[in-house]
Chain A
Amino acid sequence: MINNIFFTLAEAVQYDFMRRALLAGILVALSTSLLGVFIVLRRMSLIGDGLSHVSFAALSLGLLLGTSPLLISVPIVMLASIFIFRLAKNPSIDGDAAIGIISGTGVALGVLIASAGKGFNIDLFSYLFGSILSVTNAELVMLGCLAALVLFFILFFYHELFSITYDEDFALCTGIHAGKINILLTLLVSAAIVLGIRVTGTLLVSSLLIFPALTSLQIAGNFRKVMFFASMFSAFSVLIGIAVSYMLDLPSGAVIVMLNALIFFLILLIKKIKI
């Protein structure tokens, strides 16, 4: 089976669309898994779900207007993320409730737009479940820019991010501009969610943020190692997931997420046996 997967991978890279898919998968895996470490540790895991639901509405709007759905979704989801951020500051609204409000509104709006533009339901279906094999060169460039931005952001603001993730109030007292860093982080997460839709679809994209970070936290006791292992687990799941889905003719997004889940539960089991 393992030999077959590697043989398939070697065979698949001869095709142009497959090379694009693999590269796109790795770039998305890298971006989402690194950002996911901060999201999970700050107990903001639900934000991925909330923003992916908003992107459903934004993609529907893009299809209705006949423009590039991903291009129109990035700024809309970014605005929604800032809105969630502001809403959560309201003392009478908890963070998870703020995400719930935006999330529900996003899905409702998406359904209404989809029902108004009956003709594009098939296109919308591909965004719901992902279609990594149809990644275009322009999307690949966008993914490359996103991965570069995420890496730069983490390298440049590592100490600020570490301090804010552990204790935001203390970070503020030491003069760290936690508000600005938080906004940058949410904007990057928004972009990663929208562009990650190509790989797993809106329904599963938040898994790319959560699973690798959670798995990595089970085995690494050091912040840098958590980030390293998260990106490794994520890249591995994407590569093997694409190969398996190609071999067995299965939807790649679902296979990638199932692989992530499998690794997580396997590590949890090994940990339990060791204890």
Chain B
Amino acid sequence: MTAINIKNLTIKYGQTVALDNITCTVAQGDYTAIAGPNGSGKTSFVRALLALESPAGGSVIFEGIKKIGYLPQRNPGRQKHFPANVREIISTGLMGGKKFPRRLDKNDQHNIKEICRALSISDLLDREIGFLSGGQEQKALLARALVSKPDLLILDEPTSALDPEARDNFYSLLENFNKKEKTTILLVTHDAGTIGHYARKLLYLDKKMIFYGGFDEFCTSKPMTDYFGHYAQHYICKRH
């Protein structure tokens, strides 16, 4: 069943084309890695899906998606010591759909505790967000994205602040979440060598859509070998 229908999506910044005529459909429950070189339009693509970027052409239609969780790239522009603890930041993931006076109920509190337990950050709940390490902050923001139990989870380079072990744990956790909750996942990553082990599909962008399909197909495809070369294709596929 289709979750996202993307048709002829084009994004321009002035005269510069960031994404050119992307057409693909994402099925419900898919776990898709979005890879590509720097400046290939990965972030523009997810920002267009989230309506944070206005496309120059084309359309994005969601089907059966009610809640979206989003983990942005680390934002260096954010206030260094924002005056809030982890609990307050995670709770912003639940406030969107609430009506005034927007209070958290017992169920919400339970969900926050559960997601923090799953991410092993229960001991950080009362810590100030600005005093966390990069990896801890990343987990707290993932908890914020997951706490509302979204139908679609979009992550933009979520493992940039994580060491290799934490990164593998992070991917496994997403894989479990995808299998258990049937959450559709779109994950932007430079970590093409590892992601093939976890994600089931790959969307490879280089301003245009170079490849979209399963990793099996990608790893055996002759045209892909022509595009990437033997080494690059082997690198992406080595842990698959």
Is B one of A's binding partners?
Answer: yes
* Residues from chain B with Cβ under 8 Å of A170 in the complex: 70, 72, 92-93, 144-145
Does A171 touch B at the CB level, under 8 Å?
yes
Give the B interface residue count (CB, 8 A): 33
* Residues from chain B with Cβ under 8 Å of A221 in the complex: 81, 83, 85, 128
Does A223 touch B at the CB level, under 8 Å?
yes
* Residues from chain B with Cβ under 8 Å of A222 in the complex: 83-85
Flag if A169 contacts B52 (CB, 8 Å). Answer: yes
Q: Which of A173-199 contact B (CB under 8 A)?
A: 173-176
- Binary interface profile of A, 138-178, with partner B (CB < 8 Å = 1, else 0)? 00000000000000000010111011011101111111100
For the complex, what is the distance from the CA of A172 to the CA of B70, rounded to whole Å? 10
* Residues from chain B with Cβ under 8 Å of A59 in the complex: none
For the complex, what is the distance from the CA of A163 to the CA of B100, rounded to whole Å? 15
For the complex, what is the distance from the CA of A254 to the CA of B197, rounded to whole Å? 64
* Residues from chain A with Cβ under 8 Å of B148 in the complex: 174
For the complex, what is the distance from the CA of A213 to the CA of B178, rounded to whole Å? 42
* Residues from chain A with Cβ under 8 Å of B98 in the complex: 159
Distance (whole angstroms) from the CB of A113 to the closest CB of chain B: 35
Does A209 touch B at the CB level, under 8 Å?
no
Flag if A167 contacts B14 (CB, 8 Å). Answer: no
Flag if A41 contacts B79 (CB, 8 Å). Answer: yes
B-side binding surface: helix, strand, loop or mixed? loop
Flag if B83 contacts A175 (CB, 8 Å). Answer: no
Closest partner residue, chain A, to B131 (CB atom): A221
Distance (whole angstroms) from the CB of A92 to the closest CB of chain B: 6
Contact of B92 among A41, A162, A225 (CB under 8 A): A162
Flag if B14 contacts A91 (CB, 8 Å). Answer: yes
Contact A225 B50, CB 8 Å, known A163-B92, A174-B93: no
Flag if B95 contacts A163 (CB, 8 Å). Answer: yes
For the complex, what is the distance from the CA of A170 to the CA of B77, rounded to whole Å? 14
Flag if B52 contacts A172 (CB, 8 Å). Answer: yes
Does A13 touch B at the CB level, under 8 Å?
no
Closest partner residue, chain A, to B72 (CB atom): A169
Distance (whole angstroms) from the CB of B53 to the closest CB of chain A: 10
* Residues from chain A with Cβ under 8 Å of B231 in the complex: none
Flag if A172 contacts B95 (CB, 8 Å). Answer: no
Flag if A159 contacts B128 (CB, 8 Å). Answer: no
A-side binding surface: helix, strand, loop or mixed? helix
* Residues from chain B with Cβ under 8 Å of A91 in the complex: 13-14
Distance (whole angstroms) from the CB of A234 to the closest CB of chain B: 17
* Residues from chain A with Cβ under 8 Å of B93 in the complex: 170, 174
Flag if B100 contacts A174 (CB, 8 Å). Answer: no
Does B96 touch A at the CB level, under 8 Å?
yes
Distance (whole angstroms) from the CB of A157 to the closest CB of chain B: 9
* Residues from chain B with Cβ under 8 Å of A162 in the complex: 84, 88, 92
For the complex, what is the distance from the CA of A166 to the CA of B83, rounded to whole Å? 9
Does A226 touch B at the CB level, under 8 Å?
yes
Does A247 touch B at the CB level, under 8 Å?
no
B interface list, Cβ under 8 A from A:
13-14, 47, 50-52, 68-70, 72, 75, 77-79, 81-85, 88-89, 92-93, 95-98, 100, 102, 128, 144-145, 148
A interface list, Cβ under 8 A from B:
41-43, 91-92, 156, 158-160, 162-163, 165-167, 169-176, 217, 220-223, 225-226
Question: Could you write out 28 A-B pairs with CB less than 8 Å apart?
Answer: A43-B77, A163-B95, A166-B82, A166-B84, A166-B89, A166-B92, A167-B92, A169-B52, A170-B70, A170-B92, A172-B50, A172-B52, A173-B50, A173-B70, A174-B93, A174-B97, A175-B96, A175-B97, A176-B95, A176-B96, A217-B83, A221-B83, A221-B128, A222-B83, A222-B84, A222-B85, A223-B88, A226-B83
The 9 A-B pairs of least Cβ separation, nearest first, read: A174-B96, A163-B92, A175-B96, A173-B70, A159-B95, A159-B102, A226-B83, A223-B83, A41-B79
